[in-house]
Structure 1
Protein backbone atom coordinates (compact mmCIF):
# COMPACT_ATOMS: atom_id res chain seq x y z
CA UNK A 1 0.00 0.00 0.00
CA UNK A 2 1.21 3.54 -0.72
CA UNK A 3 0.81 5.67 2.42
CA UNK A 4 1.31 9.43 2.83
CA UNK A 5 2.64 10.24 6.30
CA UNK A 6 2.70 13.84 7.50
CA UNK A 7 5.27 14.81 10.13
CA UNK A 8 7.31 11.72 9.26
CA UNK A 9 10.58 13.27 10.43
CA UNK A 10 9.20 13.79 13.93
CA UNK A 11 9.19 11.76 17.13
CA UNK A 12 6.17 9.48 16.79
CA UNK A 13 5.67 9.50 13.02
CA UNK A 14 9.30 8.55 12.27
CA UNK A 15 8.74 5.34 14.25
CA UNK A 16 5.52 4.73 12.31
CA UNK A 17 7.43 5.31 9.06
CA UNK A 18 10.04 2.70 9.99
CA UNK A 19 7.37 0.14 10.85
CA UNK A 20 5.39 0.74 7.66
CA UNK A 21 8.48 0.33 5.50
CA UNK A 22 9.54 -2.81 7.37
CA UNK A 23 6.14 -4.30 6.54
CA UNK A 24 6.52 -3.59 2.84
CA UNK A 25 4.47 -0.44 2.45
CA UNK A 26 5.57 2.41 0.22
CA UNK A 27 5.79 5.58 2.34
CA UNK A 28 5.70 9.21 1.22
CA UNK A 29 6.62 11.73 3.93
CA UNK A 30 5.65 15.40 4.09
CA UNK A 31 7.41 17.42 6.80
CA UNK A 32 8.40 21.09 6.94
CA UNK A 33 11.23 20.24 9.40
CA UNK A 34 10.17 22.99 11.81
CA UNK A 35 10.54 20.45 14.61
CA UNK A 36 11.26 17.27 12.66
CA UNK A 37 14.83 16.14 12.00
CA UNK A 38 16.22 14.68 8.81
CA UNK A 39 18.32 12.17 10.72
CA UNK A 40 15.11 10.53 11.97
CA UNK A 41 13.71 10.08 8.47
CA UNK A 42 13.87 6.59 7.03
CA UNK A 43 16.06 6.77 3.89
CA UNK A 44 13.64 4.49 2.03
CA UNK A 45 10.79 7.00 2.35
CA UNK A 46 10.03 9.47 -0.43
CA UNK A 47 10.45 12.89 1.17
CA UNK A 48 8.87 16.26 0.40
CA UNK A 49 9.90 19.23 2.55
CA UNK A 50 6.64 21.12 2.51
CA UNK A 51 4.31 22.93 4.88
CA UNK A 52 0.79 21.52 4.98
CA UNK A 53 -0.61 24.93 4.05
CA UNK A 54 1.45 25.02 0.84
CA UNK A 55 -0.68 24.65 -2.32
CA UNK A 56 2.12 22.43 -3.68
CA UNK A 57 0.68 19.66 -1.47
CA UNK A 58 -1.67 19.02 -4.39
CA UNK A 59 1.31 18.13 -6.59
CA UNK A 60 2.40 15.48 -4.09
CA UNK A 61 -1.04 13.88 -4.31
CA UNK A 62 -0.99 14.12 -8.12
CA UNK A 63 2.43 12.49 -8.39
CA UNK A 64 2.26 9.93 -5.60
CA UNK A 65 -1.44 8.99 -5.57
CA UNK A 66 -1.49 7.71 -1.96
CA UNK A 67 -4.14 5.19 -0.99
CA UNK A 68 -4.13 6.13 2.70
CA UNK A 69 -2.93 9.11 4.80
CA UNK A 70 -1.59 9.12 8.37
CA UNK A 71 -1.65 12.68 9.69
CA UNK A 72 0.78 13.61 12.49
CA UNK A 73 2.15 17.00 11.40
CA UNK A 74 1.06 19.69 13.85
CA UNK A 75 1.99 22.63 16.00
CA UNK A 76 2.31 20.75 19.30
CA UNK A 77 3.36 23.39 21.82
CA UNK A 78 0.63 24.28 24.32
CA UNK A 79 2.51 27.39 25.45
CA UNK A 80 3.07 28.54 21.86
CA UNK A 81 -0.63 28.08 21.14
CA UNK A 82 -1.50 30.37 24.04
CA UNK A 83 0.98 33.02 22.93
CA UNK A 84 0.12 32.81 19.23
CA UNK A 85 -3.30 31.24 18.64
CA UNK A 86 -3.37 32.38 15.00
CA UNK A 87 -0.16 30.47 14.22
CA UNK A 88 -1.56 27.45 16.04
CA UNK A 89 -4.83 27.57 14.10
CA UNK A 90 -3.13 28.01 10.73
CA UNK A 91 -0.97 24.94 11.32
CA UNK A 92 -3.45 22.63 13.03
CA UNK A 93 -6.73 23.64 11.39
CA UNK A 94 -5.95 25.21 7.99
CA UNK A 95 -3.08 22.78 7.36
CA UNK A 96 -5.35 19.84 8.17
CA UNK A 97 -8.11 21.23 5.95
CA UNK A 98 -5.71 21.52 3.03
CA UNK A 99 -4.76 17.89 3.59
CA UNK A 100 -8.38 16.72 3.84
CA UNK A 101 -9.35 18.56 0.69
CA UNK A 102 -6.59 16.86 -1.26
CA UNK A 103 -7.65 13.52 0.21
CA UNK A 104 -11.13 14.19 -1.15
CA UNK A 105 -10.00 15.34 -4.58
CA UNK A 106 -7.54 12.50 -5.11
CA UNK A 107 -9.80 9.72 -3.77
CA UNK A 108 -7.80 8.70 -0.71
CA UNK A 109 -9.46 5.68 0.89
CA UNK A 110 -8.85 6.59 4.52
CA UNK A 111 -7.07 9.01 6.85
CA UNK A 112 -5.73 8.21 10.33
CA UNK A 113 -5.55 11.37 12.43
CA UNK A 114 -3.36 11.74 15.52
CA UNK A 115 -5.25 13.73 18.15
CA UNK A 116 -4.53 14.44 21.80
CA UNK A 117 -5.72 14.06 25.38
CA UNK A 118 -5.55 17.87 25.47
CA UNK A 119 -9.01 18.05 23.91
CA UNK A 120 -10.67 16.84 27.13
CA UNK A 121 -9.43 19.52 29.51
CA UNK A 122 -10.03 18.99 33.22
CA UNK A 123 -11.38 15.43 33.60
CA UNK A 124 -14.83 14.99 35.11
CA UNK A 125 -14.05 11.34 35.79
CA UNK A 126 -11.25 8.79 35.38
CA UNK A 127 -10.42 6.82 33.22
CA UNK A 128 -11.36 9.12 30.45
CA UNK A 129 -13.35 7.35 27.75
CA UNK A 130 -14.38 8.56 24.31
CA UNK A 131 -17.77 9.76 25.63
CA UNK A 132 -16.12 12.17 28.08
CA UNK A 133 -17.14 15.81 27.45
CA UNK A 134 -14.68 17.81 25.38
CA UNK A 135 -13.59 21.09 26.97
CA UNK A 136 -9.99 21.99 26.06
CA UNK A 137 -8.06 24.39 28.28
CA UNK A 138 -5.64 25.56 25.56
CA UNK A 139 -5.80 26.78 21.98
CA UNK A 140 -3.75 23.69 21.11
CA UNK A 141 -6.44 21.38 22.48
CA UNK A 142 -9.09 23.41 20.67
CA UNK A 143 -7.30 23.32 17.31
CA UNK A 144 -6.74 19.56 17.54
CA UNK A 145 -10.42 19.04 18.28
CA UNK A 146 -11.62 21.34 15.49
CA UNK A 147 -9.47 19.35 13.04
CA UNK A 148 -11.34 16.25 14.29
CA UNK A 149 -14.70 17.92 13.63
CA UNK A 150 -13.71 18.95 10.10
CA UNK A 151 -12.61 15.38 9.42
CA UNK A 152 -16.00 14.05 10.52
CA UNK A 153 -17.68 16.50 8.15
CA UNK A 154 -15.49 15.27 5.29
CA UNK A 155 -16.56 11.74 6.16
CA UNK A 156 -20.25 12.65 6.24
CA UNK A 157 -20.26 14.85 3.14
CA UNK A 158 -17.69 13.16 0.91
CA UNK A 159 -17.27 9.63 2.24
CA UNK A 160 -13.66 10.06 3.41
CA UNK A 161 -13.13 7.27 5.92
CA UNK A 162 -11.14 7.99 9.07
CA UNK A 163 -9.86 6.73 12.36
CA UNK A 164 -9.12 9.34 15.05
CA UNK A 165 -6.55 8.26 17.64
CA UNK A 166 -6.33 10.40 20.79
CA UNK A 167 -2.96 9.92 22.47
CA UNK A 168 -2.15 10.00 26.17
CA UNK A 169 1.41 11.07 27.18
CA UNK A 170 3.68 9.38 24.66
CA UNK A 171 7.37 8.83 25.45
CA UNK A 172 10.32 6.96 24.00
CA UNK A 173 13.42 7.27 21.83
CA UNK A 174 13.67 10.31 19.51
CA UNK A 175 11.49 12.53 21.70
CA UNK A 176 12.84 16.05 22.06
CA UNK A 177 13.79 17.31 25.50
CA UNK A 178 13.54 21.00 24.56
CA UNK A 179 10.49 23.17 24.03
CA UNK A 180 7.35 21.05 24.51
CA UNK A 181 9.34 17.87 25.03
CA UNK A 182 7.72 15.22 27.19
CA UNK A 183 8.48 15.16 30.90
CA UNK A 184 10.34 11.85 30.62
CA UNK A 185 12.69 13.19 27.95
CA UNK A 186 13.21 16.35 30.00
CA UNK A 187 13.97 14.42 33.21
CA UNK A 188 16.40 12.09 31.43
CA UNK A 189 18.16 14.89 29.60
CA UNK A 190 18.75 16.79 32.85
CA UNK A 191 19.85 13.77 34.89
CA UNK A 192 22.21 12.49 32.19
CA UNK A 193 23.90 15.90 32.25
CA UNK A 194 24.13 15.79 36.05
CA UNK A 195 21.52 18.51 36.50
CA UNK A 196 18.54 18.45 38.86
CA UNK A 197 15.27 18.67 36.90
CA UNK A 198 12.31 20.82 37.89
CA UNK A 199 8.97 19.47 39.05
CA UNK A 200 5.99 21.81 38.97
CA UNK A 201 3.80 21.87 42.06
CA UNK A 202 4.06 19.05 44.59
CA UNK A 203 4.63 16.34 41.99
CA UNK A 204 1.44 14.50 42.91
CA UNK A 205 -0.22 15.26 39.59
CA UNK A 206 -0.61 12.06 37.56
CA UNK A 207 -0.63 11.14 33.89
CA UNK A 208 -1.00 8.13 31.61
CA UNK A 209 2.42 7.41 30.06
CA UNK A 210 2.44 5.20 26.96
CA UNK A 211 5.52 3.94 25.12
CA UNK A 212 5.88 5.00 21.48
CA UNK A 213 6.01 1.43 20.13
CA UNK A 214 2.49 0.85 21.48
CA UNK A 215 1.29 3.93 19.59
CA UNK A 216 2.94 2.61 16.44
CA UNK A 217 1.15 -0.72 16.79
CA UNK A 218 -2.21 1.02 17.15
CA UNK A 219 -1.59 2.99 13.94
CA UNK A 220 -0.71 -0.23 12.11
CA UNK A 221 -3.91 -1.90 13.31
CA UNK A 222 -5.92 1.18 12.29
CA UNK A 223 -4.84 0.78 8.66
CA UNK A 224 -7.61 -1.79 8.21
CA UNK A 225 -9.79 -1.42 11.32
CA UNK A 226 -12.00 0.99 13.29
CA UNK A 227 -13.36 2.96 10.34
CA UNK A 228 -15.04 6.23 11.33
CA UNK A 229 -14.24 5.65 15.00
CA UNK A 230 -12.57 7.76 17.72
CA UNK A 231 -10.25 5.88 20.06
CA UNK A 232 -8.27 6.79 23.17
CA UNK A 233 -4.79 5.29 23.32
CA UNK A 234 -3.29 4.91 26.78
CA UNK A 235 -2.30 2.31 29.34
CA UNK A 236 -5.35 2.73 31.55
CA UNK A 237 -3.04 3.47 34.48
CA UNK A 238 -2.03 6.70 36.17
CA UNK A 239 1.43 7.49 37.48
CA UNK A 240 2.34 10.53 39.56
CA UNK A 241 5.27 12.71 38.54
CA UNK A 242 6.97 11.84 41.83
CA UNK A 243 6.58 8.11 41.13
CA UNK A 244 7.87 8.62 37.61
CA UNK A 245 10.91 10.50 38.89
CA UNK A 246 11.65 7.80 41.45
CA UNK A 247 11.59 5.14 38.71
CA UNK A 248 13.95 7.12 36.49
CA UNK A 249 16.24 7.96 39.42
CA UNK A 250 16.51 4.27 40.34
CA UNK A 251 17.30 3.18 36.78
CA UNK A 252 20.03 5.81 36.50
CA UNK A 253 21.33 5.18 40.06
CA UNK A 254 21.09 8.93 40.56
CA UNK A 255 21.08 10.76 43.88
CA UNK A 256 20.00 14.09 42.41
CA UNK A 257 16.88 15.50 44.02
CA UNK A 258 14.42 17.42 41.85
CA UNK A 259 13.77 21.12 42.35
CA UNK A 260 10.12 21.85 43.13
CA UNK A 261 8.76 25.07 41.64
CA UNK A 262 5.26 26.63 41.67
CA UNK A 263 2.65 24.78 39.65
CA UNK A 264 1.82 26.07 36.18
CA UNK A 265 -1.54 27.76 35.64
CA UNK A 266 -3.94 25.56 33.69
CA UNK A 267 -2.24 22.25 34.47
CA UNK A 268 -4.75 19.52 35.28
CA UNK A 269 -4.16 17.39 38.37
CA UNK A 270 -4.98 13.84 37.24
CA UNK A 271 -5.53 12.12 33.92
CA UNK A 272 -5.57 8.61 32.50
CA UNK A 273 -7.44 6.92 29.68
CA UNK A 274 -9.96 4.11 29.51
CA UNK A 275 -8.48 2.14 26.59
CA UNK A 276 -11.16 -0.55 26.31
CA UNK A 277 -12.67 0.70 23.06
CA UNK A 278 -9.27 0.62 21.34
CA UNK A 279 -8.68 -2.85 22.73
CA UNK A 280 -11.97 -4.05 21.25
CA UNK A 281 -11.87 -2.36 17.84
CA UNK A 282 -8.13 -2.58 17.14
CA UNK A 283 -7.41 -5.85 18.96
CA UNK A 284 -4.73 -3.78 20.70
CA UNK A 285 -3.42 -3.01 24.15
CA UNK A 286 -0.43 -1.15 25.56
CA UNK A 287 2.09 -3.94 26.09
CA UNK A 288 5.30 -2.16 27.15
CA UNK A 289 5.75 -1.90 30.94
CA UNK A 290 7.06 1.46 32.15
CA UNK A 291 10.42 0.03 33.25
CA UNK A 292 11.07 -1.49 29.82
CA UNK A 293 10.07 1.68 28.02
CA UNK A 294 12.26 3.78 30.28
CA UNK A 295 15.25 1.49 29.75
CA UNK A 296 14.92 1.70 25.98
CA UNK A 297 14.62 5.48 26.18
CA UNK A 298 17.66 5.75 28.44
CA UNK A 299 19.69 3.56 26.06
CA UNK A 300 18.80 5.88 23.18
CA UNK A 301 19.60 9.08 25.06
CA UNK A 302 22.79 7.88 26.73
Structure 2
Protein backbone atom coordinates (compact mmCIF):
# COMPACT_ATOMS: atom_id res chain seq x y z
CA UNK A 1 0.00 0.00 0.00
CA UNK A 2 1.22 3.49 -0.87
CA UNK A 3 -0.18 6.94 -0.23
CA UNK A 4 -3.34 5.84 1.55
CA UNK A 5 -4.91 7.14 4.71
CA UNK A 6 -5.72 4.17 6.93
CA UNK A 7 -7.17 3.46 10.34
CA UNK A 8 -6.00 0.54 12.47
CA UNK A 9 -8.31 -0.21 15.40
CA UNK A 10 -6.62 -2.06 18.25
CA UNK A 11 -3.70 -0.22 16.70
CA UNK A 12 -1.54 -0.07 19.83
CA UNK A 13 -2.01 -3.78 20.50
CA UNK A 14 0.23 -6.65 19.50
CA UNK A 15 -0.84 -7.29 15.89
CA UNK A 16 -2.24 -3.79 15.36
CA UNK A 17 0.98 -1.98 16.24
CA UNK A 18 3.02 -4.28 14.01
CA UNK A 19 0.62 -3.48 11.16
CA UNK A 20 0.49 0.27 11.88
CA UNK A 21 4.29 0.53 12.02
CA UNK A 22 4.68 -1.41 8.78
CA UNK A 23 2.10 0.71 6.92
CA UNK A 24 3.43 4.02 8.27
CA UNK A 25 6.46 3.83 5.97
CA UNK A 26 4.28 4.59 2.92
CA UNK A 27 0.88 5.68 4.25
CA UNK A 28 -0.79 8.06 6.65
CA UNK A 29 -1.70 5.80 9.59
CA UNK A 30 -4.03 6.42 12.52
CA UNK A 31 -3.86 3.85 15.33
CA UNK A 32 -6.93 3.84 17.57
CA UNK A 33 -6.82 1.97 20.88
CA UNK A 34 -8.52 2.17 24.28
CA UNK A 35 -5.40 0.99 26.12
CA UNK A 36 -6.94 -2.20 27.51
CA UNK A 37 -4.52 -4.56 25.74
CA UNK A 38 -2.47 -1.99 23.84
CA UNK A 39 0.10 0.65 24.69
CA UNK A 40 1.20 3.57 22.48
CA UNK A 41 4.78 2.64 23.37
CA UNK A 42 4.41 -0.07 20.71
CA UNK A 43 4.01 2.57 17.99
CA UNK A 44 6.63 4.29 15.86
CA UNK A 45 6.75 8.09 15.72
CA UNK A 46 5.20 8.12 12.23
CA UNK A 47 1.87 6.75 13.50
CA UNK A 48 -0.86 9.06 14.79
CA UNK A 49 -2.26 7.62 18.03
CA UNK A 50 -5.88 8.22 19.05
CA UNK A 51 -7.02 6.98 22.46
CA UNK A 52 -10.64 5.98 21.98
CA UNK A 53 -12.97 2.98 22.01
CA UNK A 54 -14.48 1.37 18.93
CA UNK A 55 -17.82 1.95 20.69
CA UNK A 56 -17.39 5.76 20.49
CA UNK A 57 -19.11 8.17 18.13
CA UNK A 58 -16.98 10.30 15.80
CA UNK A 59 -14.31 7.72 15.09
CA UNK A 60 -11.58 8.82 12.63
CA UNK A 61 -13.07 6.65 9.87
CA UNK A 62 -12.66 9.14 6.99
CA UNK A 63 -9.96 6.90 5.52
CA UNK A 64 -9.30 4.73 2.47
CA UNK A 65 -9.12 1.46 4.42
CA UNK A 66 -10.10 0.41 7.94
CA UNK A 67 -8.13 -2.45 9.49
CA UNK A 68 -10.33 -3.57 12.38
CA UNK A 69 -8.29 -5.55 14.90
CA UNK A 70 -9.76 -4.21 18.16
CA UNK A 71 -11.21 -7.06 20.22
CA UNK A 72 -11.42 -8.73 23.57
CA UNK A 73 -9.23 -11.58 22.47
CA UNK A 74 -9.39 -14.35 25.02
CA UNK A 75 -11.78 -17.04 26.16
CA UNK A 76 -11.79 -15.74 29.75
CA UNK A 77 -12.56 -12.12 28.87
CA UNK A 78 -15.81 -13.31 27.30
CA UNK A 79 -16.84 -15.88 29.89
CA UNK A 80 -16.45 -13.34 32.71
CA UNK A 81 -18.82 -10.96 30.95
CA UNK A 82 -20.38 -12.21 27.69
CA UNK A 83 -22.35 -8.99 27.20
CA UNK A 84 -19.19 -6.88 27.39
CA UNK A 85 -17.46 -9.26 24.99
CA UNK A 86 -20.34 -8.85 22.54
CA UNK A 87 -20.32 -5.07 22.94
CA UNK A 88 -16.64 -4.71 22.13
CA UNK A 89 -16.30 -7.45 19.51
CA UNK A 90 -19.64 -7.21 17.71
CA UNK A 91 -21.05 -3.76 18.39
CA UNK A 92 -17.54 -2.29 18.13
CA UNK A 93 -17.18 -3.82 14.68
CA UNK A 94 -20.64 -2.72 13.52
CA UNK A 95 -20.07 0.81 14.88
CA UNK A 96 -16.68 1.14 13.17
CA UNK A 97 -17.79 -0.34 9.84
CA UNK A 98 -20.94 1.79 9.76
CA UNK A 99 -19.07 5.03 10.49
CA UNK A 100 -16.50 4.09 7.83
CA UNK A 101 -19.28 3.49 5.30
CA UNK A 102 -20.90 6.83 6.12
CA UNK A 103 -17.53 8.57 5.75
CA UNK A 104 -17.09 7.14 2.25
CA UNK A 105 -14.56 4.44 3.12
CA UNK A 106 -15.31 1.37 1.02
CA UNK A 107 -12.94 -1.26 2.39
CA UNK A 108 -12.82 -2.91 5.82
CA UNK A 109 -10.32 -5.68 6.59
CA UNK A 110 -11.03 -7.30 9.96
CA UNK A 111 -9.80 -10.02 12.29
CA UNK A 112 -11.86 -13.11 12.87
CA UNK A 113 -10.51 -16.37 14.35
CA UNK A 114 -9.39 -19.86 13.46
CA UNK A 115 -10.72 -21.35 16.71
CA UNK A 116 -14.21 -21.62 15.18
CA UNK A 117 -12.89 -24.61 13.19
CA UNK A 118 -12.68 -26.55 16.44
CA UNK A 119 -10.28 -29.50 16.70
CA UNK A 120 -8.56 -30.16 13.40
CA UNK A 121 -5.35 -32.07 12.75
CA UNK A 122 -6.13 -31.76 9.03
CA UNK A 123 -5.88 -28.39 7.26
CA UNK A 124 -9.09 -26.36 7.71
CA UNK A 125 -10.48 -24.75 4.53
CA UNK A 126 -12.62 -21.60 4.78
CA UNK A 127 -15.74 -23.30 3.42
CA UNK A 128 -15.97 -26.00 6.08
CA UNK A 129 -18.76 -25.83 8.64
CA UNK A 130 -17.87 -23.84 11.75
CA UNK A 131 -19.40 -23.67 15.23
CA UNK A 132 -19.36 -21.16 18.06
CA UNK A 133 -18.44 -23.02 21.25
CA UNK A 134 -17.39 -19.98 23.30
CA UNK A 135 -18.41 -16.35 23.65
CA UNK A 136 -15.21 -15.32 21.91
CA UNK A 137 -15.94 -17.54 18.90
CA UNK A 138 -19.57 -16.40 18.77
CA UNK A 139 -18.43 -12.77 18.68
CA UNK A 140 -16.05 -13.40 15.77
CA UNK A 141 -18.66 -15.39 13.82
CA UNK A 142 -21.11 -12.53 14.36
CA UNK A 143 -18.51 -10.20 12.85
CA UNK A 144 -18.37 -12.37 9.75
CA UNK A 145 -22.17 -12.22 9.44
CA UNK A 146 -22.29 -8.44 9.90
CA UNK A 147 -19.53 -8.11 7.31
CA UNK A 148 -21.76 -10.05 4.88
CA UNK A 149 -24.58 -7.62 5.62
CA UNK A 150 -22.41 -4.56 5.00
CA UNK A 151 -21.21 -6.09 1.76
CA UNK A 152 -24.63 -7.12 0.43
CA UNK A 153 -26.63 -4.15 1.66
CA UNK A 154 -24.12 -1.33 1.18
CA UNK A 155 -21.52 -2.68 -1.24
CA UNK A 156 -18.78 -2.30 1.38
CA UNK A 157 -15.82 -4.57 0.61
CA UNK A 158 -15.29 -6.63 3.77
CA UNK A 159 -12.46 -9.09 4.18
CA UNK A 160 -12.32 -11.29 7.27
CA UNK A 161 -9.00 -12.92 8.09
CA UNK A 162 -9.03 -16.00 10.30
CA UNK A 163 -5.69 -15.81 12.09
CA UNK A 164 -4.01 -18.93 13.42
CA UNK A 165 -1.81 -18.67 16.57
CA UNK A 166 0.05 -15.39 15.99
CA UNK A 167 3.34 -14.86 17.83
CA UNK A 168 6.36 -12.57 17.96
CA UNK A 169 8.03 -12.78 21.37
CA UNK A 170 8.59 -10.35 24.21
CA UNK A 171 11.25 -8.46 22.26
CA UNK A 172 8.41 -7.18 20.06
CA UNK A 173 4.97 -5.84 20.97
CA UNK A 174 3.67 -8.85 22.91
CA UNK A 175 5.17 -8.26 26.33
CA UNK A 176 2.49 -5.92 27.65
CA UNK A 177 -0.12 -8.64 27.01
CA UNK A 178 1.47 -10.72 29.76
CA UNK A 179 -0.68 -13.80 30.42
CA UNK A 180 -2.64 -13.09 27.22
CA UNK A 181 0.44 -13.28 24.99
CA UNK A 182 0.97 -16.23 22.66
CA UNK A 183 2.41 -19.36 24.27
CA UNK A 184 5.66 -19.09 22.30
CA UNK A 185 6.41 -15.72 23.90
CA UNK A 186 5.39 -16.89 27.37
CA UNK A 187 7.29 -20.18 27.19
CA UNK A 188 10.47 -18.62 25.78
CA UNK A 189 10.47 -15.98 28.51
CA UNK A 190 9.96 -18.58 31.24
CA UNK A 191 12.68 -20.92 29.96
CA UNK A 192 15.16 -18.07 29.39
CA UNK A 193 14.60 -17.03 33.00
CA UNK A 194 15.09 -20.54 34.35
CA UNK A 195 11.41 -21.11 35.06
CA UNK A 196 9.33 -24.10 34.03
CA UNK A 197 6.69 -23.21 31.40
CA UNK A 198 3.17 -24.20 32.39
CA UNK A 199 1.31 -26.45 29.96
CA UNK A 200 -2.40 -27.05 30.41
CA UNK A 201 -3.02 -30.75 29.78
CA UNK A 202 -0.43 -33.20 28.46
CA UNK A 203 1.29 -31.00 25.86
CA UNK A 204 0.15 -33.07 22.88
CA UNK A 205 -2.14 -30.26 21.69
CA UNK A 206 -0.95 -28.67 18.44
CA UNK A 207 -1.04 -25.14 17.02
CA UNK A 208 -0.42 -23.59 13.64
CA UNK A 209 2.03 -20.94 14.90
CA UNK A 210 2.24 -18.01 12.46
CA UNK A 211 4.77 -15.21 12.84
CA UNK A 212 3.30 -11.72 13.14
CA UNK A 213 5.42 -10.45 10.21
CA UNK A 214 3.68 -12.93 7.91
CA UNK A 215 0.29 -12.00 9.38
CA UNK A 216 0.70 -8.25 8.82
CA UNK A 217 1.97 -8.84 5.28
CA UNK A 218 -1.17 -10.89 4.66
CA UNK A 219 -3.41 -8.16 6.12
CA UNK A 220 -1.80 -5.56 3.83
CA UNK A 221 -2.18 -7.84 0.79
CA UNK A 222 -5.89 -8.31 1.57
CA UNK A 223 -6.32 -4.54 1.21
CA UNK A 224 -4.07 -4.28 -1.85
CA UNK A 225 -6.09 -6.96 -3.66
CA UNK A 226 -9.51 -5.65 -2.56
CA UNK A 227 -10.32 -9.07 -1.16
CA UNK A 228 -13.93 -9.79 -0.21
CA UNK A 229 -15.03 -12.69 2.00
CA UNK A 230 -13.16 -14.95 4.41
CA UNK A 231 -9.50 -16.01 4.19
CA UNK A 232 -7.22 -18.06 6.43
CA UNK A 233 -3.84 -16.72 7.50
CA UNK A 234 -1.75 -19.61 8.79
CA UNK A 235 1.21 -21.72 7.73
CA UNK A 236 -0.43 -25.09 7.12
CA UNK A 237 1.98 -26.70 9.61
CA UNK A 238 1.38 -27.52 13.27
CA UNK A 239 3.60 -28.25 16.26
CA UNK A 240 2.71 -29.63 19.68
CA UNK A 241 3.40 -27.70 22.87
CA UNK A 242 5.83 -30.45 23.93
CA UNK A 243 7.73 -29.95 20.66
CA UNK A 244 7.68 -26.20 21.24
CA UNK A 245 9.30 -26.55 24.68
CA UNK A 246 11.88 -28.98 23.27
CA UNK A 247 12.81 -26.60 20.41
CA UNK A 248 13.01 -23.59 22.75
CA UNK A 249 15.35 -25.52 25.05
CA UNK A 250 17.56 -26.36 22.04
CA UNK A 251 17.57 -22.74 20.88
CA UNK A 252 18.32 -21.33 24.35
CA UNK A 253 20.83 -24.04 25.31
CA UNK A 254 18.72 -24.96 28.33
CA UNK A 255 17.12 -28.13 29.63
CA UNK A 256 13.98 -27.07 31.46
CA UNK A 257 11.03 -29.40 31.82
CA UNK A 258 7.50 -28.02 31.51
CA UNK A 259 5.02 -28.15 34.39
CA UNK A 260 1.79 -29.90 33.44
CA UNK A 261 -1.33 -28.38 34.99
CA UNK A 262 -5.02 -29.06 34.66
CA UNK A 263 -6.57 -27.26 31.70
CA UNK A 264 -8.63 -24.32 32.93
CA UNK A 265 -10.76 -24.25 29.77
CA UNK A 266 -13.53 -26.91 29.74
CA UNK A 267 -12.62 -29.91 27.61
CA UNK A 268 -15.72 -29.75 25.40
CA UNK A 269 -14.84 -26.22 24.20
CA UNK A 270 -11.03 -26.37 24.29
CA UNK A 271 -9.49 -26.41 20.83
CA UNK A 272 -6.87 -29.16 20.98
CA UNK A 273 -5.47 -28.87 17.44
CA UNK A 274 -5.37 -26.22 14.72
CA UNK A 275 -3.99 -26.22 11.20
CA UNK A 276 -4.69 -23.75 8.40
CA UNK A 277 -5.37 -24.44 4.78
CA UNK A 278 -3.86 -21.20 3.41
CA UNK A 279 -4.37 -22.08 -0.28
CA UNK A 280 -7.23 -19.62 -0.89
CA UNK A 281 -5.11 -16.68 0.29
CA UNK A 282 -2.14 -17.93 -1.73
CA UNK A 283 -4.25 -18.19 -4.88
CA UNK A 284 -5.76 -14.72 -4.40
CA UNK A 285 -2.63 -12.75 -3.50
CA UNK A 286 0.45 -14.98 -3.79
CA UNK A 287 0.86 -14.77 -0.01
CA UNK A 288 2.74 -17.51 1.70
CA UNK A 289 4.46 -17.60 5.08
CA UNK A 290 8.12 -16.61 4.84
CA UNK A 291 9.18 -17.27 8.44
CA UNK A 292 9.56 -20.95 9.28
CA UNK A 293 8.90 -22.28 12.79
CA UNK A 294 12.66 -22.65 13.44
CA UNK A 295 13.45 -19.17 12.15
CA UNK A 296 10.58 -17.71 14.17
CA UNK A 297 11.86 -19.32 17.36
CA UNK A 298 15.34 -17.93 16.62
CA UNK A 299 13.80 -14.41 16.41
CA UNK A 300 11.93 -14.94 19.68
CA UNK A 301 15.00 -16.25 21.53
CA UNK A 302 17.51 -13.76 20.09
CA UNK A 303 16.82 -11.16 22.81
CA UNK A 304 17.86 -13.63 25.51
CA UNK A 305 21.21 -14.53 23.99
What is the TM-score of this pair, normalised by structure 1? 0.93
Partner of residue 301, structure 2: 298
Deviations 1:56-115 (A, max 9, x none): 32xx23xxx211111111111211211211110010011111101101111102011111
Q: 3-state SS of the aligned residue for 1:99?
A: helix
The reply on whether 1:78 has 2:91 as its aligned counterpart is no
Partner of residue 239, structure 1: 239
Does structure 2 retain, via aligned residues, the 8 Å contact 1:226–1:281?
no
Q: 3-state SS of the aligned residue for 2:11?
A: coil
Unaligned runs of 5+ in 1: none
The runs of at least 4 aligned residues of structure 1 exceeding 6 Å deviation read none
**Counterparts of 2:249 and 2:191, CA distance in 1:** 8
Does structure 2 retain, via aligned residues, the 8 Å contact 1:13–1:72?
yes
Partner of residue 17, structure 1: 20
Partner of residue 46, structure 1: 48
Q: 3-state SS of the aligned residue for 1:136?
A: coil
Map 1:30-45 onto structure 2 (within 5 A): 30-45=32-47
**Counterparts of 1:158 and 1:284, CA distance in 2:** 28
Does structure 2 retain, via aligned residues, the 8 Å contact 1:53–1:94?
yes
Q: 3-state SS of the aligned residue for 2:199?
A: strand
**Counterparts of 1:17 and 1:263, CA distance in 2:** 35
Q: 3-state SS of the aligned residue for 1:178?
A: helix
Shift of 1:188: 1.4
Match of 2:140 among 139, 144, 158: 144
Does structure 1 retain, via aligned residues, the 8 Å contact 2:115–2:271?
no
**Counterparts of 2:257 and 2:197, CA distance in 1:** 8
Does structure 1 retain, via aligned residues, the 8 Å contact 2:162–2:233?
yes
Unaligned runs of 5+ in 2: none
Number of residue pairs matched?
A: 295
Shift of 1:295: 1.5
**Counterparts of 2:285 and 2:79, CA distance in 1:** 34
Shift of 1:218: 0.5
Match of 1:98 among 72, 95, 98: 95
Q: 3-state SS of the aligned residue for 2:98?
A: helix
Does structure 2 retain, via aligned residues, the 8 Å contact 1:226–1:282?
no
**Counterparts of 2:130 and 2:153, CA distance in 1:** 23
Match of 2:274 among 266, 271, 275: 271
Partner of residue 156, structure 2: 160
Q: 3-state SS of the aligned residue for 2:194?
A: coil
Partner of residue 205, structure 2: 205
Shift of 1:141: 0.8
Q: 3-state SS of the aligned residue for 2:109?
A: strand
Shift of 1:301: 6.3
Map 1:179-198 onto structure 2 (within 5 A): 179-198=179-198
Q: 3-state SS of the aligned residue for 1:248?
A: helix
Does structure 1 retain, via aligned residues, the 8 Å contact 2:157–2:226?
no
Does structure 2 retain, via aligned residues, the 8 Å contact 1:199–1:261?
yes
